[in-house]
Chain A
């Protein structure tokens, strides 16, 4: 999929200052070898099984299927330890960091899910952990901030720019520049310079690997007709699409439209974005004609990112994946719909994926898999507010 310089078609690469070169080069030279070591595989698989709780169930959502006249299955990433898919990646990267001899971990986080997943594996391994988080996200995802602190991580507010995920990522990159020898940067999505997008996609690929076996068992066919996943940077979607890239399965990437595509308050990168460079990757991003990165907006902190991983930029650009954008309101409605129909409170990010059911068409015997990337505990205050308003 990715070439040796880290490009997916024309997207990707490693556009980094010299100060980061040695770190990124070390990672690039070693990630594939380390990941294929039997002892690495064994340790990772055991942790994913015993600690994270994998495989996660593939659940046939009967009432949801009735409502939408399709066969809808949910890939239950919300049932992972710490409540989202993010831990698939942090388990992999912490084992990698150990093999690189790193003594300190840094991470960025938006919704706090990746921060919690990173703080968790650092506690597990007894490694120092510093998480950068936008000041605004610290406010709107307060429970996750407390969890990170309880896990022993230092949470550093990012106060520059829009004070959200993009700025937390800038701060984490700067930390890495200042601490090049002992520190590993665990990026939380399929973004950043090569090899991150490929490495994170490989760690998340367990999602579609399990899906294949589970679908075969439950439906007799390992290929569904449609896979739907929300996209912030795109890691849960990359994991859900990974083993289906070369099939005929429709791949649907759901972005956050915020207050609406044309409202000026949006994070729908595939619609509003143009080709440019963000966080070391050539991809689609929201920017002014002068190349200044635009501050995005979404009610969901995990989707509030002005770029999109280069893999997704390539899939959308070549027509392999379709993009759908969902507003705050539509996502909130979908969260309540899923909760009442199936007894599952989804993360706001994942709720965007469910809202896309209102905007797609299919045949009634189609099999649709929705990647339920995380659970909604962290979003309860937003949901409570919504109930009070209605």
Chain B
């Protein structure tokens, strides 16, 4: 069973999905961050493949990606770092990046490498649904991977249904019209959108992402979905604590899970 399906099956609520950029703050932090996230209670981990032109991401993630590329991160290096990670953790792992990276690596080689190191799913925000259906889906599903799709407040109900049919694992529900890292509080307009999609009775569970930054926004998001996704807030925390990546990672997860004062984090 795909590890994403397993965690969704085993754990009915408050799934915590955390994104980090591979190769940031240091080239070799990847394993340490994954293991620390897992130890501290993260349910799903999104490994960002740093990209020069991440069109859906805000400045925090873009800057971490630029730093990671400067540190020397490549896909080859990343797959090397993830080698045998499955001997140490069974936490579901997703790779998140842009279609050009996958194209240049070669789709089949990419899926094979992902499979070899124990990846469970992919998030490729600039992959159009129809191209996925025509050119990619068979390879992905044959490998037992899940392709995660995004929906936004602008996505029509008809399109959400179609995405629900195609998607595996979960649906990534972008909380507002925004790039990553742009918003702080949950607004009434977002609530309307959350209720609307809630009522659609989709087959895939939903995780809410974009703008989730602390215990409070995490809890709020979990009221409307099976869990939530945190990216920029974690990257910012790492940026402020580059010299102690492991302890900073653990304390970040604890702060999301438990009501600790945000001031303890900086």
Residues of A at under 8 Å CB distance from B?
A: 5, 13-19, 21-23, 160-161, 166, 170, 173-174, 177-181, 274-280, 287, 289-293
CB distance from A187 to the nearest CB of B (A): 13
Most buried by A among B51, B53, B69: B53
Residues of B at under 8 Å CB distance from A?
A: 51-53, 55-56, 58-59, 62-63, 66, 69, 74-76, 98-105, 125-128, 130-131, 149-152, 154-156, 159, 174, 177-179, 182
Which residues of chain A are near B100, meaning CB under 8 Å?
Answer: 276-278, 287, 291, 293
Which residues of chain A are near B130, meaning CB under 8 Å?
Answer: 5
Contact partner, B53, options A13, A19, A21, A166, Cβ 8 Å: A166
Which residues of chain A are near B150, meaning CB under 8 Å?
Answer: 17-19
Pairs A–B under 8 Å by Cβ, sample size 30: A13-B131, A14-B128, A15-B99, A15-B128, A16-B55, A16-B128, A17-B55, A17-B150, A18-B151, A19-B56, A19-B125, A19-B174, A19-B178, A21-B155, A22-B154, A22-B155, A160-B62, A160-B66, A161-B66, A174-B58, A178-B179, A278-B53, A279-B53, A280-B55, A287-B100, A291-B102, A291-B104, A291-B105, A292-B52, A292-B101
Most buried by B among A15, A275, A279: A15
Question: Given A178-B178, A292-B51, 16 more contacts at CB 8 Å?
Answer: A14-B128, A15-B126, A15-B131, A18-B125, A18-B152, A19-B150, A160-B62, A170-B55, A173-B55, A177-B177, A178-B179, A179-B177, A181-B154, A277-B126, A279-B53, A291-B51
A101–B75 alpha-carbon span in the complex (Å) = 44
Question: Does the CB pair B125–A17 fall under 8 Å?
Answer: yes
Question: Does the CB pair A13–B177 fall under 8 Å?
Answer: no
Which residues of chain B are near A15, meaning CB under 8 Å?
Answer: 99, 126-128, 131
Q: 9 tightest A-B contacts by CB?
A: A291-B104, A22-B154, A17-B125, A17-B56, A18-B150, A292-B52, A291-B101, A277-B100, A290-B74
Which residues of chain A are near B56, meaning CB under 8 Å?
Answer: 17, 19, 177
A3–B258 alpha-carbon span in the complex (Å) = 53
Question: Does the CB pair B179–A174 fall under 8 Å?
Answer: yes
Which residues of chain B are near A5, meaning CB under 8 Å?
Answer: 130
Question: Does the CB pair A292–B69 fall under 8 Å?
Answer: yes
Question: Does the CB pair A279–B55 fall under 8 Å?
Answer: yes
CB distance from B37 to the nearest CB of A (A): 25
Question: Does the CB pair A174–B55 fall under 8 Å?
Answer: yes
Chain A residue nearest to B56 in the complex (CB): A17
CB distance from A87 to the nearest CB of B (A): 27
A17/B178 contact (C-beta < 8 A), A161-B52, A173-B55, A277-B98 known: no
A170–B126 alpha-carbon span in the complex (Å) = 13
A19–B152 alpha-carbon span in the complex (Å) = 6
Question: Does the CB pair A161–B128 fall under 8 Å?
Answer: no
